[in-house]
Amino acid sequence: MTADRLSTHFAACRAQGRAALITFVTAGDPDVAATPAILDALVEGGADIIELGMPFTDPMADGPAIELANLRSLGSGTKTKDIFALAADFRARHPDTPLILMGYANPMLVRGSDWFADQCKAAGVDGVICVDTPPEEDAEIGPALRAAGVHLVRLATPTTDAARLPAVLNGASGFLYHVAVAGITGKQQAAQTSIEMAVARLKAATDLPIAVGFGVRTPDQAAAIGRVADGVVVGSAIVDIVGSHGDAAAPFVRQFVASLSGALTRTQETAA
Amino acid sequence: MTDTIALPNSLRSQPDANGHFGAFGGRYVAETLMPLILELEKVYRAAKADPAFDEEFAELLRTYVGRPNPLYYAGRLTEALRAKAAPGKGAKIYLKREELNHTGAHKINNCIGQALLARRMGKKKVIAETGAGQHGVATATVAALFGMECKIFMGAKDVERQKPNVFRMKLLGAEVVPVHSGSATLKDSMNDALRHWVSNVHDTFYIIGTAAGPHPYPELVRDFQSVIGKETRAQMLEAEGRLPDMLIAPVGGGSNAIGLFHPFLDDPEVAMIGVEAAGEGLDRKHAASLAGGVSGILHGNRTYLLQDEDGQITEAHSISAGLDYPGIGPEHSWLHEIGRVKYMPIKDDEALTSFQTLSKLEGIIPALESAHAVAAAEQIAPTLDADRIIVVNLSGRGDKDIFTVADALGVEM
């Protein structure tokens, strides 16, 4: 890997005594033309790492907010080539900000894993989260990504017990994404104590940075998680703002993300 | 004589340890579900090795479902086709009467098996997806039988076109959840069932209705439905003293078809035809994922899917809500690729015609799904010699479809 933006960023955040802010939006929501300004707003608001969702017709692990974003995007005609163009454009304008593609196996693998991995590499994508490809099916996507120097970020969940964790960690790289609730995106909030116990358990098992997501909607929640985890992921709450404001969403997104990053910074001050 | 043993090189020994049928199958689900799916596999292996499980399953099939159901020689249909065929042509047509099962379709076989597994896993709540409502009714039925709480996810469009089955499910004590997302049909009800499952995985068992989904579902559904083929084998040997020359069954996800085919896969003299819904035609709207799709990943398995060049799932269409699905069970994708089973498309209007033909000639109103298989038999039988034997799987009865058919025929009810 030439320049590992992910490890550089997690290290920088750790040096500042704070968790990384990881923000999610769906590519092409509400349309491809609107996405660059929304991505810029995430960075300007203080996001450390960007997750860009690849829309899919059947996002069965997602709740209503992200499902609607997927349908808005596809309804406006977003194609896979547009997503890689958005990624390459983002990389040109933000050479240092890590970019992760998140989505489902079928759109990623329809032209083969080598093609997908090559496109990721060429567009400057740092990592991939494939929601419906567990370690048992790693052969579908893992080898191609690793050969291209792109991280395959694995998910751990409240149902991932000690017996299963080694399987999840085998081949995981970049960071480990702890899905805080056994459920779909955007719905319930997990109890802080269960998050703290999970993060402690995961940290004991791996040196990878631990990011926590699913159900994180407010600066206070982000701050609470930021005290224990290496990264905090916020998705549905941002996607809802895009849903409400459409192609005028960028300033509202920037403001909300700034409130999240501000909360994480204050965590550092109180912790210091 | 009623069964054969699966040999190591047998076509019946799939899937492999990871749930793959050749390049198909597998377990493509969110991490939250993986531990449960691995546990289900363990529980299923233990149940398979436990004679008490098999005994209880067989007893319920006998006393509750009404098995064995008959293998019926459709003499009037056979003679009508012979009358139009060349001299010496026109195969004998037998019907395997799955429509005589309790709840009116083959679906109940699988639901009883999965409810027994749910009980072994200590789950008190079951969920299911349904298209035509046959699987929903069967699931609601076993939930009542086993005293389990039941939720059925059903596309809003299907709730509308299958009202009698919706009412049946409610009578049986199930909650019917209409699904409005996407095309509001079977695939969307499966998405929402998966969403509910991932959020309630600790106490809920998902009774998948067809031989698809993540491993071990395609295998266990097939095994539970194989009672169809095992009975057919014994009944045919008794009636004719030999195996049939051809088996024909409708294929949506393909559980009734794989249940009929599987016990015969290692008998090369038995030809097999799976009948896909060609809807308005393969060049228009259809649900024929083998004839009109390519390999992809959806709902937990790799299989043939209707999709565009970017891997987005495209809408399926069939006059039969039960066939209105853009995918197919992974074992069928494999059997298609190795050429063991031939798959044949039948259009809406052809199925409609056969729906009426069978009703008039045999006094049996078939489900629209089954009417697709009857249509295929009507096309194939006249091309075969008169001493050939075809078995058509009559997977379900057509009461649920009379409104759809009346509508298509322009009849006001």
CATH number of the domain to which B247 belongs:
3.40.50.1100
Q: Does ipTM come in above 0.85?
A: yes
Where is B370: in which H helix or E strand? helix B368-380
Q: Are residues B303 and B335 in the same domain?
A: yes
| pLDDT tier at B7, thresholds 50, 70, 90 | low
Does A269 or B312 have the greater pLDDT score? B312
Task: Give residue A272's pLDDT.
Answer: 42
Mean pLDDT computed over every residue of chain B: 96
B194-217: average pLDDT: 96
Residue with tokens 């690729």: B337
Q: Are residues B75 and B146 in the same domain?
A: no
**A130 vs B: CB within 8 A:** no
Task: Give residue A92's pLDDT.
Answer: 98
Q: Which residues in chain A show pLDDT less than 50?
A: 1-2, 271-272
B314-333: average pLDDT: 94
Q: Do residues A56 and A103 touch, judged by C-beta distance below 8 A?
A: yes
Burial class (CB in 10 A: 0-12, 13-18, 19+), A75: middle
Task: Give residue A157's pLDDT.
Answer: 96
pLDDT digits (tens, 9 = 90+) for B269-309: 999 999 999 999 999 999 999 999 999 999 999 999 999 99
Active-site residue (options: B92, B189, B395, B400): B395
Q: Are residues B275 and B353 in the same domain?
A: yes
Task: Give residue A2's pLDDT.
Answer: 45
Query: CA B214 to CA B137: how far, in whole Å?
Result: 23
Active site residue B395: yes
Q: Which amino acid is at A56?
A: F
Task: Give residue B161's pLDDT.
Answer: 80
Instruction: Tell me what percent of the residues of chain B surpass a pLDDT of 70.
Output: 98
Q: Which domain holds residue B185?
A: 20-64+106-217
Q: Are residues B241 and B384 in the same domain?
A: yes
Active-site residue (options: B96, B107, B157, B400): B107
Nearest CA in chain A to B306: A106
Domain boundary among B169, B187, B217: B217
**Which domains does chain A possess?**
5-265 (3.20.20.70)
Contact assignment for A57 to B300 by CB distance below 8 Å: no
Query: CA A39 to CA A50: how far, in whole Å?
Result: 8
Q: Do residues B138 and B65 touch, judged by C-beta distance below 8 A?
A: no
Task: Please report whether residue B330 resides in a domain.
Answer: yes
CB-nearest to A136 from B27, B182, B305 is B27
Cis omega (within 30 of 0) for bond into A55: no
| DSSP annotation of A53 | E
Tokens (6 digits) for A263: 């909360």
| pLDDT tier at B183, thresholds 50, 70, 90 | confident
Task: Please report whether residue B3 resides in a domain.
Answer: no
Among residues A19, A52, A42, the alpha carbon closest in space to that of A255 is found at A42
Task: Please report whether residue B2 resides in a domain.
Answer: no
Interface test with A, best of B31, B185, B215, B304 (most A CBs within 10 A): B31
The distance of Cα A215 from the centroid of its chain, to the nearest Å, equals 13
Task: Give residue B8's pLDDT.
Answer: 66
Task: Give residue B5's pLDDT.
Answer: 58
How far is CA B34 from each of CA A134, A145, B29, B116, B124, rounded to the nearest angstrom? 8, 22, 7, 21, 20
Q: Is the pLDDT of residue B1 over 80?
A: no
Contact assignment for A58 to B310 by CB distance below 8 Å: no
Task: Please report whether residue B121 resides in a domain.
Answer: yes
Q: Are residues B152 and B53 in the same domain?
A: yes
CB-nearest to B198 from A105, A136, A182 is A182
Residue B16 neighbours by CB under 8 Å, 6+ apart: none
Tokens (6 digits) for A235: 């998705």
Looking at B65-74, B89-98, B175-184, which range is the least confident one?
Answer: B175-184
Active-site residue (options: A51, A138, A230, A240): A51
